[in-house]
């Protein structure tokens, strides 16, 4: 079997945006206060929709709205925060590669309507009309905006990352996968530094409707801030949200040599794909269990060493049930005494960004030795006899923490983090 | 890394395109003159349509087939061919620790729904309300799962049981290059023993033609070989699926798997496409590979898309290197964007297995008579992303 370096990797800078606000300080203050960023959607009409709430990021202006534009703009902001904190490189010259978790980019309805208008068809509009109108170079901007690599390419250009930027998707585990790719590249010795970014600004009518048609979303629209209820008996789905996170990863040697402040370390990564179903977990929970165990083993630890779990915790009946089963299987009798709180109760599910956003919040939990709560926890689920840090933040001793991310398509990734290198 | 990189073999290939499926079919067809793609359905655009495949052979459950759109079926099918070729199909122990990196775009849209909505949206009183109503009623609930980029990997896990790691790279041609690069780097460094890497592309879609035509990249009839589209460049997109099984020599030897070829190096790059940038990028990647190349027994399999100016720049750069026969396989299989680089590494393995290069497609390609021991694969994206690989005969 392969034997590779399992060295911990330092985090020397990070930046975050959620519906709670811009920047780590603002987000942490509100998380600890148990504040929700979920609100009624104002960006587009919600007439006729079952779900009318979300954690949209409305304070980053993008006019006219385009999901890829918002994703890119948020990525810019969090990368600036992360690079400034790490103090690495020079402006426009980041000394390492970019790993970007990004919602799949696609042509959006406003683009399509614009081309259709240019086609000027009198009767029914067809794709042949759109193609005719698109011919001749008037819509080159749509190509540059809507190719999959567009966000990554623009970030690489702006921040001067090195080599080919990797844009990736592992659905709702994407942010964690981006960090994992960075950790692996540093462990291979390919680079001393990596920029891991995750961004998702994809809340438009079609995106919301897609999840709604899969019955994945909470429909508890009123009041919006109470809709996300992870681990509660009355949980009824996740709440879509937007956000972005960026982390500067560095080999410990490199960070120490330049005297950088080490915010925390990624100690281990675990991953296990699930072959059971496109949207549901294997009923025996084996892939989730194996994923968590692999991450802990990769960190050179045992489950007894883990003091806090930042769960995927979406608030869907299925996820929370399977994740709890997995946690109980891995931690055994200790499970009920390992606190586990879901950031998504406050920020919603930031989808492609979630793994990175929540890794940053896990690092802040380690830094502050204070656990953000799971809010909206009013009706305990007797099948989930765990300490979800209900409704109120509290202090705790946290040496090692694990963050889980699970996604459609059987994607499971767990990251183990610590305050200081062992 | 203090230790030397582990030798990495290609122990399985799975390919399907307009030429048909499998190594033998592709070898035979590449030694005949290129067919002119039938393009009535997408006129005036030239599209290489997938040869008929029997899905049941690789995706036995009809329920699974129904859950996928064509791009996922093509990919899941090609992945199955690769696992068969590697002797890994059904080996639960091996598949449970097999890693996977897929290069994917986005899935098909429902073109009828789009067109109908666009037609009626023009007269809608309240556009937002109208769009909501129609999307809620017209979109098939499971279509989303057929569109999500990472659901090709998801389907491969479900149908074939590959459950080590699962990552999906997006980003057109560069997604394919980086998928192979990262899979190789992980094996070389001991982070993985065996990886399934590849992707698929369904070219028979007007929604994807729309994206490329907006950028001025879609080839309109008449068809011409990739290097003979001067003055009116463009991609003749092609439906294809291509997967490789990459494996450490140790892992392959332990299970008595034979190497089809050795993958020695993969380089990738990203430059802003200003004049001279592609040339500079190719020169830089070549300088990393050239020291390992023995003159006289090497050829290039180019992933040139046909789009300009990238294709002309690459062609000009290639012609500066003496004694280097070049084949642009896009002339035969079309341009499949994400999996193109993987397809060409697979075709390189096929040629190395025959110890010779296939015949020239046109007058712009030189014959090669001598033995073939190394192939340099290029992948210059139509708009961004550059890649280069060295594939060698395995001893």
**Which domains are delineated in chain B?**
8-107+148-392 (3.40.47.10)
Catalytic annotation present for A143: no
Please state, rounded to an integer, the average pLDDT across all residues of chain B.
96
Per mean pLDDT, which range of A4-8, A289-293, B144-148 is the poorest? A4-8
Is residue B1 pLDDT above 60, yes or no?
Answer: no
Interface contact B254, partner A, CB < 8 A: no
B332 touching chain A per CB within 8 A: no
Give the minimum alpha-carbon distance from B355 to chain A in angstroms, rounded to a whole number: 31
Report pLDDT for A2.
54
Per-domain boundaries in chain A: 9-105+147-418, 112-143
Q: Quick one: closest CA in B to A269, which residue?
A: B165
Q: Residue B302's closest CA among B280, B288, B290, B318?
A: B318
Helix, strand or coil, per DSSP, at residue B132: helix
Sign (positive/negative) of CA torsion A83, A85, A86, A87? positive
Measured between beta carbons, which residues in chain A are less than 8 angstroms from residue B132?
45-49, 205, 209
- What pLDDT score was predicted for residue B370? 84
Q: E-assigned strands of chain B?
A: 8-17, 20-21, 47-48, 99-103, 166-170, 194-201, 237-238, 240-248, 261-269, 298-302, 326-328, 374-380, 386-392
State the nearest Cα–Cα gap between B216 and chain A, in angstroms.
6
Choose among A152, A212, A411: nearest Cβ to B171: A152
Going by pLDDT thresholds of 50, 70 and 90, the confidence category of residue A422 is low
Give me the pLDDT at residue B325, please.
Answer: 97
Q: Please check whether residue B211 touches A, CB under 8 A.
A: yes
Chain B residues with CB inside 8 Å of A45's CB? Answer: 126, 128-129, 131-132
Average pLDDT over residues A377-388: 98
Closest in A47, A153, A410 to B128, CB measured: A47
pTM above 0.90, yes or no: yes
Could you report the per-residue pLDDT of B100-112, keeping only the tens digit for each?
Answer: 999 999 889 999 9
Angle between helices A354-368 and A24-32 (to 10 degrees): 70
Whether pLDDT at B363 is above 90: no
B139 Rama sector, left if φ>0, alpha if ψ -120 to 50, beta otherwise: beta
Q: Is the pLDDT of residue B395 over 80?
A: no
Decide the pairing of beta strands B194-201 and B240-248: antiparallel
Q: For B136-194, how does the pLDDT look when each residue is reduced to its tens digit (9 = 90+)?
A: 999 999 899 999 999 999 999 999 999 999 999 999 999 999 999 999 999 999 999 99
Q: Which among A172, A196, A269, A291 is annotated as catalytic?
A: A172
Residues of B in contact with A130 (CB under 8 A): 118, 206, 210
Please report which confidence band the pLDDT of residue B26 belongs to, taking 50, 70 and 90 as the band edges. Answer: very high
pLDDT at A4: 79
Q: Residues of chain A with pLDDT > 70: what percent?
A: 99
- Give A168's contacts in chain B (Cβ within 8 Å): 167-170
> What is the pLDDT, as a whole number, of residue B233?
85
Q: Stretch A116-133: mean pLDDT, rounded?
A: 94
Place of tokens 């035509």: B213
Closest CA to A416 of A266, A214, A226: A266
Comparing CB atoms, the residue among B115, B170, B217 nearest residue A104 is B170
Confidence band of B25 (pLDDT split at 50, 70, 90):
very high
- Above pLDDT 70, what percent of chain B? 99
Tokens 């592609």 belong to residue? B278
Instruction: Please tell me whether residue A62 adopts helix, strand or coil conformation.
Output: coil
Enumerate the residues of chain B whose CB falls inside 8 A of the CB of residue A152: 171
- Residue B227's alpha-carbon distances to A84, B31, B327, in angstroms, are 47, 18, 10
ipTM value? 0.97
Task: Say whether B45 and A131 touch across the interface (CB within 8 A).
Answer: yes
Q: Do A156 and B270 touch (CB under 8 A)?
A: yes
**The token pair that represents A48 in the structure block:** 């006729």
Helix (H) or strand (E) holding A130: helix A127-134
pLDDT at B246: 98
pLDDT tens readout for residues A150-191: 999 999 999 999 999 999 999 999 999 999 999 999 999 999
Mean of per-residue pLDDT scores for chain A: 96
Distance CA B188, CA A3 (A): 11
Angle among Cα B166, B303, B68 to the nearest 5 degrees reads 40
A292-296, B3-7, B196-200, B312-316: least confident range: B3-7
Reading the block at residue B214, the tokens are 């907006």
Give the helix ranges, DSSP H, for A121-238: 127-134, 140-146, 150-159, 174-187, 205-213
Name the helix (H) or strand (E) containing A290.
Answer: helix A286-298
Q: pLDDT tier at B362 (50, 70, 90 boundaries)?
A: confident
State how far Cα B314 lies from the chain centre: 18
Tokens standing for residue B190: 């001991």
Residue A228 DSSP one-character state:
-
Is A368 labeled as catalytic in the residue annotation? no
Asked if B163's CB is within 8 angstroms of A287's CB, the reply is yes
Whether A349 sits among the annotated catalytic residues: the reply is yes
Per cent of chain B over pLDDT 90 is 93
Position B72 pLDDT exceeds 60: yes
Q: Which residues pair with A172 in a beta bridge?
A: A170
pLDDT digits (tens, 9 = 90+) for B249-297: 999 999 999 999 999 999 999 999 999 999 999 999 999 999 999 989 9
CB-based contact A214 B115, cutoff 8 Å: no
Contact criterion met (CB < 8 Å) for B210 and A115: yes
Q: What is the pLDDT of residue B91?
A: 97
Q: What is the pLDDT of residues A19-62, one digit of tens each?
A: 999 999 999 999 999 999 999 999 999 999 999 999 999 999 99
Provide the token pair at A312.
């995927």
Closest CA to B179 of A154, A72, A164, A191: A164
Cβ contact A271–B166 (<8 Å): yes
Q: Which residues contact A273 (CB under 8 A, 6 or more apart)?
A: A287, A410, A411, A412, B100, B153, B157, B162, B163, B164, B165, B166
The pLDDT assigned to A1 comes to 45
Residue A218's alpha-carbon distances to A176, A222, A238, A314, A353, in angstroms, are 24, 11, 5, 10, 19
| Inter-chain residue contact B384 with A411, CB threshold 8 Å | no
| Alpha carbon distance B110, B130 (integer Å) | 18
Q: Give me the total of CB pairs closer than 8 Å, taking one residue from chain A and one from chain B.
A: 260
Q: How far is A122 from chain B (nearest CA, A)?
A: 9
CB contact under 8 A, B139 and A213: yes
Instruction: Answer whether B185 sits within 8 Å of A188, measured CB to CB.
Output: yes
Superfamily covering domain A9-105+147-418 = Thiolase/Chalcone synthase (3.40.47.10)
B62-66, B175-179, B366-370 — which is least confidently predicted? B366-370
Distance from CA of B227 to the nearest CA of A (A): 22
- Judge contact between A171 and A159, C-beta under 8 A: no
Residues A344, A217 contacting (CB under 8 angstroms): no
Record: contact B135-A209, CB cut-off 8 A: yes
pLDDT on residue B109: 95
Strands A53-54 vs A39-40: parallel, antiparallel or unpaired: antiparallel
pLDDT of residue B232: 84
Instruction: Give the residue carrying structure tokens 């698109």.
Output: A134
* Token couple for B150: 């990472």
Q: Read off the pLDDT of each residue in B44-73 and give the average, rounded to a whole number.
A: 96
Q: Give B-chain residues touching A276 at CB under 8 angstroms.
A: 158
What is the rounded distance in angstroms from the CA atom of residue A344 to the CA atom of residue A36?
9
- Compute the average pLDDT of residues B71-78: 98
Q: Residue B40 has what pLDDT?
A: 86
B311 in Cβ contact with B232 (< 8 Å): no
Do residue B126 and residue A45 have CB atoms under 8 angstroms apart?
yes
pLDDT for B4: 85
């Amino acid at each position: 079997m392969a034997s590779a370096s399992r060295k911990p990797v330092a985090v020397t800078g990070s930046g975050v945006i959620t519906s709670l606000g811009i920047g780590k300080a603002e987000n942490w203050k509100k998380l600890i206060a148990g504040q929700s960023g979920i609100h009624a959607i104002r960006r587009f009409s919600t007439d006729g929709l079952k779900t009318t709430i979300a954690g949209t990021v409305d304070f980053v202006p993008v006019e006219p709205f385009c999901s890829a534009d918002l994703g890119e703009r948020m990525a810019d902001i969090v990368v600036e925060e992360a690079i400034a904190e790490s103090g690495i490189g020079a402006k426009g010259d980041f000394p390492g590669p970019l790993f970007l978790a990004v919602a799949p980019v696609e042509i959006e309805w406003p683009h399509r309507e614009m081309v259709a208008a240019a086609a000027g068809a009198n009767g029914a509009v067809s794709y042949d009309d759109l193609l005719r109108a698109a011919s001749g170079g008037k819509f080159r901007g749509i190509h540059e905006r809507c190719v999959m690599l567009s966000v990554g390419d623009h970030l690489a250009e702006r921040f001067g990352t090195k080599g080919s930027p990797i844009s990736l998707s592992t659905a709702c585990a994407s942010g964690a996968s981006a960090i994992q790719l960075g950790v692996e590249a540093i462990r291979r010795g390919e680079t001393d530094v990596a920029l891991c970014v995750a961004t998702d600004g994809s809340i438009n009518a079609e995106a919301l409707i897609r999840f709604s048609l899969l019955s994945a979303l909470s429909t508890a629209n009123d009041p919006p801030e109470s809709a996300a209820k992870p681990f509660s008996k009355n949980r009824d789905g996740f709440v879509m949200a937007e956000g972005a996170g960026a982390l500067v990863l560095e080999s410990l040697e490199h960070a120490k040599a330049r005297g950088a402040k080490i915010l925390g370390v990624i100690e281990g990564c675990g991953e296990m794909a699930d072959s059971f179903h496109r949207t549901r977990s294997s009923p025996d929970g084996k892939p989730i269990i194996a994923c968590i165990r692999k991450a802990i083993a990769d960190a050179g630890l045992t489950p007894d060493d883990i003091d806090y779990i930042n769960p995927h915790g979406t608030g869907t009946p299925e996820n929370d049930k399977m994740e709890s089963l997995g946690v109980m299987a891995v931690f055994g009798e200790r499970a009920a005494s390992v606190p586990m709180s879901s950031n998504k109760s406050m920020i919603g599910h930031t989808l492609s960004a979630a793994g990175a956003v929540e890794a940053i919040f896990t690092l802040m939990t380690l830094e502050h030795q204070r656990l953000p709560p799971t809010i909206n926890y009013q009706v305990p689920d007797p099948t989930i006899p765990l300490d979800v840090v209900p409704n109120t933040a509290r202090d705790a001793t946290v040496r090692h923490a694990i963050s889980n991310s699970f996604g459609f398509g059987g994607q499971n990734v767990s990251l183990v983090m610590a305050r200081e290198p062992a | 890394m203090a230790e030397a990189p582990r030798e990495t073999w290609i122990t399985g290939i799975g390919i399907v395109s307009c030429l048909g499926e499998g190594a033998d079919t592709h070898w035979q067809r590449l030694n005949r003159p290129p067919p002119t793609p039938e393009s009535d359905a997408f006129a005036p655009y030239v599209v290489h349509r997938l040869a008929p495949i029997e899905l049941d052979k690789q995706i036995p459950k009809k329920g699974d087939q129904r859950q996928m759109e064509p791009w996922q079926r093509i990919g899941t099918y090609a992945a199955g061919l690769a696992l068969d070729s590697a002797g890994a199909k059904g080996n639960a122990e091996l598949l449970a620790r097999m890693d996977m990196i897929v290069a994917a775009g986005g899935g098909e849209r429902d073109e009828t729904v789009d067109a109908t909505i666009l037609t009626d949206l023009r007269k809608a009183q309240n556009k937002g309300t109208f769009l909501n109503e129609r999307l809620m009623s017209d979109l098939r609930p499971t279509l989303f799962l057929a569109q999500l980029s990472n659901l090709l990997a998801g389907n491969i896990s479900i149908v074939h049981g590959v459950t080590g790691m699962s990552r999906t790279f997006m980003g057109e041609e560069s997604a394919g290059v980086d998928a192979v690069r990262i899979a190789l780097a992980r094996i070389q460094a001991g982070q993985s023993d065996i990886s399934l890497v590849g992707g698929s592309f369904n070219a028979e879609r007007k929604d994807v033609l729309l994206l490329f035509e907006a950028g001025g990249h879609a080839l309109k009839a008449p068809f011409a070989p990739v290097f003979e589209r001067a003055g009116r460049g463009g991609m003749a997109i092609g439906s294809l699926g291509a997967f490789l099984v990459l494996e450490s020599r140790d892992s392959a030897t332990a299970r008595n798997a034979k190497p089809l070829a050795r993958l020695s190096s993969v380089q990738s790059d990203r430059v802003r496409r200003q004049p001279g940038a592609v040339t500079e990028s190719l020169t830089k990647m070549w300088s990393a590979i050239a020291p390992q190349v023995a003159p006289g027994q090497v050829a290039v399999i180019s992933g040139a898309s046909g789009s300009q100016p990238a294709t002309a720049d690459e062609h000009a750069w290639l012609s500066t290197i003496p004694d280097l026969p070049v084949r642009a396989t896009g002339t035969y299989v079309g341009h499949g964007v994400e999996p193109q680089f993987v397809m060409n590494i697979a075709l390189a393995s096929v040629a190395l297995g025959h110890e010779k290069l296939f015949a020239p497609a046109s007058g712009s390609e030189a014959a090669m008579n001598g033995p073939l021991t190394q192939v340099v694969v290029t992948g210059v994206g139509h708009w961004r992303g550059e890649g280069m690989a060295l594939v060698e005969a395995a001893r």
